[in-house]
Amino acid sequence: MPRSGGEYHYLSTIFHPLLGFLSGWVSVTVGFAAPVALAAIALGNYINKVFPAVNPVWLACVTVIVITAVHSFTIKRSAFFQDLSTIIKVILILFFVVAGFILATSQHVSVLPQTNPVKEQSWTAIFSPAFAVSLNYIYYAYSGWNASAYVANDIENPRVNIPKSLLYGTIIVTVLYVLVNYVFLYTAPIDELKGQLEVGYVSALHIFGTNGANIMAIMIALTLISTVSSMVFIGPRVAQVMGEDMKQIGFLAIKNKSGIPVNATIIQGAIAILLVATSTFSDVMLYIGFTLNLMTFLTVLGLFVMRAKGTIVSAGYKTFGYPVTPAIFLILSAWTIYFTMSVNWKQSLLGLATILAGSVIYFIKKPTK
């Protein structure tokens, strides 16, 4: 399906335009704006650790405004900024990991499940509702794994480069993510990490001391710029495709002379700022975790539907491990969605309310095609 838009395009084609619209509605309203807000909130909190006089909310808002402005001119400038910020992020993460192993004292904490059910990290805990809900945070950490599918129109030779970007990107992020979290557990006592948003700062205190931790806090904040930037770049492409399909929201499809969907970019930035100013990190996290997991579940389910209908035209694309790999994904996603609804029902209801609001808008302003 060689078109930008991600789940919006896929679900519209596989199931029904309504389902695609709802997915796009979730993406446009919170799907990308919320991760922008989350990363900006974390950035502000890290800087506030070093400079208490700096208001973290205001800094988060300024960060969103500046990066939105950067991505509102040319694709060349956007790509350069994203490449540079990502390279800086990877270098800083690797530096942090190496320094943790060399300079810190091991806390002798096993990161593997234990056979003793009394221990916190046990096999029984893995199958608990709390563990299922915690996977929302893990999914968020990996949330960019499918990003290239949202910008298919802007990728050269997509048949080759989209699968490569999905595979290589996921492998690299997995390695970096596991390493940096292992270093957190390796360097800092679990009691000090519990309930902390700025776990990198806690870990840095044990690796570098107070002065070094302050420097690392600033560096960690810099790594979050890449996260904000990637979502600011990708999200408006979904809104753009929706605007192309619905004349009533056609203003979202308006591009500048360089092909940037400026209106969609500005609106997403405004929503992100609103979330920064009105919500806490955990509330936003669980809210988007439920809604995005639901849409992702339906998208992967669509692969089975397309195969059953015989509507897939391969064109060189393959699904590795089908049907086992997508089935595993569906089982884990359904498990997480169920317990998120059970444990965090307020955020789940808010997510369902967002979807319901999209349904109302769909029937008021029905797509033209």
At residue 285, the pLDDT reads: 75
Whether the bond into 323 is cis, omega within 30 of 0: yes
Tens of pLDDT, residues 86-131: 899 899 999 999 999 999 888 866 666 666 555 555 677 778 888 8
The single-letter DSSP state of residue 158 is H
Q: What is the mean pLDDT of residues 265-271?
A: 93
At residue 198, the pLDDT reads: 86
Tens of pLDDT, residues 30-81: 788 888 998 999 999 999 999 999 999 999 999 999 999 999 888 888 889 9
At residue 115, the pLDDT reads: 60
At residue 50, the pLDDT reads: 92
Q: Where are the alpha helices (DSSP H) in the chain?
A: 7-14, 17-26, 33-50, 56-70, 75-103, 123-126, 129-141, 158-187, 190-193, 199-245, 262-278, 281-309, 324-343, 345-364
Reply yes or no on whether the pLDDT at 193 is more than 70: yes
Reply yes or no on whether the pLDDT at 208 is more than 90: yes
At residue 154, the pLDDT reads: 74
Buried-exposed string 170-190: b where 16+ CB fall within 10 A, e elsewhere: eeebeebeebbbebbbbbbee
Contact, 2 vs 152, CB < 8 A? yes
Percent of the chain with pLDDT over 90: 32
Q: How many residues does the chain have?
A: 369
At residue 315, the pLDDT reads: 63
Percent of the chain with pLDDT over 70: 93
Q: What is the mean pLDDT of residues 220-246?
A: 87
Reply yes or no on whether the pLDDT at 230 is more than 80: yes
Contact, 326 vs 73, CB < 8 A? no
Structure tokens at 44: 């502000």
At residue 313, the pLDDT reads: 67
Q: What is the mean pLDDT of the chain?
A: 85
pTM: 0.80
Say which residue the tokens 């802007």 belong to: 154
Structure tokens at 354: 């967002």
At residue 70, the pLDDT reads: 92
Tens of pLDDT, residues 134-155: 888 888 778 777 778 777 777 8
Q: What is the mean pLDDT of residues 321-346?
A: 88
Reply yes or no on whether the pLDDT at 1 is more than 80: no
At residue 365, the pLDDT reads: 61
At residue 173, the pLDDT reads: 87
At residue 119, the pLDDT reads: 57
Q: Which of 150-154, 324-328, 356-360 has the highest mean pLDDT?
A: 324-328
More confident site: 322 or 284: 322
